[in-house]
Amino acid sequence: MLAGLFNYWVVIILMMAGLYVVMSSRHLVKKIVGLNIFQTAVFILFISMGAVDGGTAPILVEGTTLYSNPLPHVLILTAIVVGVATTALGLAIAVRIYEAYDSVDEEDIAAMDTEDRRQENAVTTVTNTPS
């Protein structure tokens, strides 16, 4: 039971670990790392489902008749590219956030945003008093 579904157990553990990091971490870069682990778990899920017991890589060779299903593997090649693009964009935005806020800690940034909004509202009260 456990041995036969080993890959899927790995997938579940990685997926939960990744999601947990995304949700619990305050550090923006660590969130991206969590997202990557989460996505990798899905890649392993797809690759495992394409595997055939005793099958070899799907390349025509003399003497083999049993091949793994190449389609999920090809799909995952695309998904990996998408994942890399997402990571790159996420990190690029994180760098811009660091330049703008001088911090990559979510709660510090939220505090600064609250301060910004408080100032916007403070201006409202000042301009409203004369009229």
Footprint on this chain of another protein (rule: CB under 8 A): 19, 22, 28, 31, 35, 38-39, 42, 45-46, 49, 72, 75, 78-79, 82, 85-86, 89-90, 93-94, 96-97, 100-101, 109, 113, 116, 120-121, 124, 127-128, 131
CB of 1 to another protein, least distance (A): 16
Contact (Cβ atoms closer than 8 angstroms) between residue 102 and residue 112: no
State in angstroms the smallest separation of the CB of 38 from another protein.
Answer: 6
Q: Given the complex with another protein, which of 57 and 102 has the nearer CB atom? A: 102
CB neighbour burial string for 109-130, b if at least 16 within 10 angstroms, e if fewer? beeeeeeeeeeeeeeeeeeeee
Intra-chain end-to-end CA distance of the chain, in Å: 76
